[in-house]
Structure 1
Amino acid sequence: MPSAEDALAQAHEKENSIRVACLAFDRALSRMRQNLNLPHSKEAWSASFVTRLQFLNKEHRRRIKNDVQALSTRLRQDFGQRTAGCDAKSRLDVQVQAVMDAYADAEQLMVKCEELYTSRVGEKTLAVADRVLLRRAMPRLRDELQRIVQHKEEIQAIMAQWGVYFQLLASEEELSTLLEKLRQHKFTKTALENKAIPVFQRIIDMYTERDAIVFESSRLGLEHEANWLAQANRV
């Protein structure tokens, strides 16, 4: 049979382990209150959270609306106002296509140049000075053509990634549709309360249960300690 001191030490250890476990919960609760900027009163948590989330959502929608409208205005300034049958996206497409056509022309010219060079060298109708000049120029021309290919691929990649957003910002109709969808994403108080109240109520219930567990562990610890000491005195 363990001594009274050993029994009391074990009881104290159990009680302390419960307090340590509750301390982790308390720290998590404190971090939650700080992150969500909640008041001290637990009863006000839901209302405070809903009010703050509504404000943040409103600011988020307002900021997006202002940014999108500013970008749209900038695009129209850079690419000109819409005219009959031609908007900013159409003008951009024309410019991109002009780049693609220029690349195709450069590629064809390079092929033609190489064919003529090979033909004239084979026919021995090319002057030595011209042959030397072309032999030195051809590698540079190929390098330049390769750089043009890289620019072409970059433009194609950019258009594939950002073309849809350019279209959205350049089109008044699509921009209006976007802003309307943004307006519809407004958080209503009722919807937020329906989600927030059960969660916070569960946290409050856990907090209450935590207090009950600590209280009960302390009560049992004192009760066991008194019983052990009483038994030890009788012995």
Structure 2
Amino acid sequence: MKLLALFTLLLISGNIIAQDLDGAWLMTHLNGKELSDKEFVKIYQDGYFSFGAKSIPSNAFHSAGGGAFFLEGSIYTETLDFHTEQKELVGEKRVHHIDRVEDKLVITGQDQGNERIEIWEKISDKADALTGNWVFTGRKDQEGELRTSTPGARRTVKILSGGRFQWIAFNSETKEFMGTGGGTYTAEDGEYTEHIRFFSRDNERVGASLAFEYEVKDGKWHHSGISSKGDPIYELWSPYKEAYHKSN
């Protein structure tokens, strides 16, 4: 009965616009089967998306992917900047069909020649001062001087929306993936706290929390505090569309 009800939902679609996607989503079903052994979370913000997945209950990192997206009617297109499982997809446009069914998203497409149907449920679309898609553009050196850089094919992106965050380091030209991590966060009264739910480099980090100070000045995110290794950090993050696309 559950399987029948699931596919009955596909017959009742609603209109959706790009802004409806902004926020964090959890995949609940894949090809008609409830997803219980993995946690897939997808974040949409400012025309960009990323997903991170881990196995349950081991917390072992499973996969990640993301890039730009475009929505026109029910036609949903992704252009991947990175993908850990299928690097050959990086740089390609993948066209899908998307519907809103009650409070869920139904995304239908092709995966290696087979039909793939994903059902996603929104976790949250709440926003705060740090909600956005950011790219790393500078840090203070040991002398306290802020050194800035222009992001190129090799870059680090951090997307925050719906109370979820994910950072990703990758090279979109070589299709190299360096690492990712993500989870929940809070940003209030100048304090930014991350609660890690997945981490590609070390599963033992899952469950840890890190607190930092933040300030948004002239549209840029100034991020400071003590790193997980105990070292002081001061990083500069800029809006992705401004810092990256203007340089290309």
- What is the TM-score when the length of structure 1 is the normalising length? 0.16
TM-score (norm 2): 0.15
- Of structures 1 and 2, the one scoring higher in RCO (CA 8 A, sep 6+) is 1
- Which has more strand, going by share of residues? 2
